[in-house]
Structure 1
Amino acid sequence: MEKKSIALAVGLFIIGGLTGAVVERFAVMPGMGSGISLGAAASLLESVTHGEAKAEKVFPGPGGLTGIEVTLQGHPTVAFATADGRYLIAGPVLNKQGEDEAHTAMVKLGLIPKPASAGALAAKAAGADSFVLGTGGPEITAFVDPNCIFCHKFYEEAKPLIDAGKLRVRYVVVAFLKPSSMPKATAILGAADPAAAMAKNEKGFDTVTEEGGIAPAQNPAAATLSAVENNTRLLGESGEMATPTLIYCNSKGEPTLAHGLGKESFTDFAAHIGNLQNGVCRK
């Protein structure tokens, strides 16, 4: 791979950490030494990205790493450097609790807003451009991307409960996973019957390529484009660009947010949730 390609790949990798698209995970070992200077961090970024990224400041990172506030192609983000200043770590850095230290640092530095509460997101989602499948049972909110294979799995697991009148799902369609996500999302939201359009997308979902089955919209209305953009921005307020993101009422009647599907069966999950109606937990 040419040096320019390597630099570009690193650049996209760092931006990926900002959007939550990166899937790699790094283990950080404690006691790796003291931090490096801003000059050393700038030199490392210069070498790795060929001047495409700029080090704004350094701060103490986890496990002896040095955190670096980075500007890359106009995007603020965070990377980490090893104590010897020879290695750059871009993307999520997980602690033992599975929490992303890079995301935490970005919130502390004010580079991204602090995640909104589940209750606040539930209220906003209720007013977003969305649609509800089902006529009975408790309601939950699901943020989904048309090309998300785990959203497809969620759709298939929820459908029997919806058909049986045991669950209602408010679908908030977003677009960020692939270039085709936006035209497919607008094809769903812009359809005369979004529920039928969603069904078409899931029926034709290709699990090998992880592509939804609906044909991308060619000339979506400006209002529909804006709606998908607003839905995607709302998902970002959850603190992570991940789908499916679910908002539901727990057994105590409290709004709860979950990124991804849990390990328990979805039927058991649905049997122990409350009703989220108009963004508020109801009895």
Structure 2
Amino acid sequence: MQSQTKVETYMLFSLYRATRPLPALGVSLGLIGALAALPALAQTATQPAATAATPAPAPMPKSVDVPDAVQATLNKLTGGTTKVLSAFEAPAGLIGLAVSLGPQKNAILYATPDGKYVIQGMIVSSDGENMTQAEAKQMLPQPPDAAANFASLDKTHSYLWGKASAPKEMWVLFDPNCIYCHKAYDALKPAVSAGKVKVHVIQAGFLKADSMPKAAAIMAAKDPAAALATDEKNFDAAKEEGSIKGDMSDKDAVAKVTANNTWMQAQGIGGTPYVLYKDTAGKAQEIAGFDPNIDGLLAKIGPSS
């Protein structure tokens, strides 16, 4: 009997009418750069265990022209800021759209041929294949990988959350108004407090108008980790807002947050939280989004350098 391997897949969908504006595109879970506010439905699927043979690459999706109605809807929903790089045949009769949302911000969207609906999210087949991920690899410009991002950490400004003597470490990109950063903070807090891991926090500020002032206030604090704790302690989950008061008076802090934002865009990182670490083999790894399995994550992280 062929062995079966259990695979976790995530289905993230949001349907938008032509009359409803798309949300701000900024937070990334996986490949789509705007899923921070969308609910995630976890689905467990099974597929045969991998064999020694290298699987054949997936065929390129068939290219199609962008219907005028679809282009008009995208222009209306995004204020003309979204550029269609290419269009292709997608599952279920949908039109796939490889789009640019700005510098180093690319995504796969879907639309009905009549242009009445735009779908933002991942399509997962019944056998567990992430169709959107495969399409993104084929249709989108690929950003630097984890190794390149890790090697460029010297361009960032971070502060330490946790004990310097902790045996493991990670780098996490946070926005003070990011709901999934808040979830990650709460999930990591017991391990950080117990001295199991230390976190180098790369403070960004881009999600909302007051994200930059709040991020600058944290960076300017005598104890940035304590300021972060204040922001997270009274985080308003309903409004997705951190509780710290914004402050742009410290120009050095503003410059550091700005540099972190610039690094994020230059490296093609779609949003927050974004995690970098080195595994037990010393290889750089990344996580785009919130992973609630902290124990599993800690088991993968190698010793601090």
- Aligned length in residues: 255
Structure 2 residue corresponding to 1:258, chosen from 257, 268, 287 = 287
- Structure 2 letter corresponding to 1:244: P
Partners of 1:244 and 1:67 in 2: CA distance = 27
Kindly report which structure 2 residues correspond to 1:31-180, keeping only aligned pairs within 5 A, or say none.
37-38=65-66, 41-46=67-72, 49=75, 53=80, 58-63=86-91, 64-68=93-97, 79-82=109-112, 84-96=113-125, 97-98=129-130, 100=132, 104=136, 108=139, 110=141, 114-133=142-161, 134-136=163-165, 137-180=167-210
Alignment deviations for residues 26-56 of structure 1 (CA, whole Å, 9 cap, x no partner) = xxxxxxxx97644xx2244336756954876
Contact 2:205 2:257 survives alignment (8 Å):
yes
Partners of 1:8 and 1:219 in 2: CA distance = 40
Distance 1:101 1:165, change over 3 A: closer
| CA displacement at 1:131 relative to structure 2 | 0.9
Structure 2 residue corresponding to 1:219, chosen from 246, 249, 253 = 249
Partners of 1:186 and 1:217 in 2: CA distance = 6
Structure 2 residue corresponding to 1:198, chosen from 201, 223, 228 = 228
| CA displacement at 1:184 relative to structure 2 | 0.5
Distance 1:62 1:160, change over 3 A: same
Cα root mean square deviation, aligned = 3.9
SS for the counterpart of 1:146 is coil
**Structure 1: gaps of 5 or more residues:** 1-5, 26-33, 278-283
Structure 2 residue corresponding to 1:189, chosen from 219, 222, 233 = 219
| CA displacement at 1:86 relative to structure 2 | 4.2
Contact 2:26 2:271 survives alignment (8 Å):
no
Partners of 2:197 and 2:117 in 1: CA distance = 47
Structure 1 residue corresponding to 2:33, chosen from 15, 20, 26 = 20
Q: Percent identity?
A: 28
TM-score (normalised: structure 2): 0.66
Contact 1:14 1:90 survives alignment (8 Å):
no
Contact 2:27 2:207 survives alignment (8 Å):
no
Distance 1:94 1:229, change over 3 A: farther
TM-score (normalised: structure 1): 0.70
Contact 1:93 1:102 survives alignment (8 Å):
no
- Higher alpha-carbon deviation: 84-93 or 129-138: 84-93
SS for the counterpart of 1:91 is strand
Distance 1:79 1:119, change over 3 A: closer
More helix by share: 1
Contact 2:219 2:253 survives alignment (8 Å):
yes
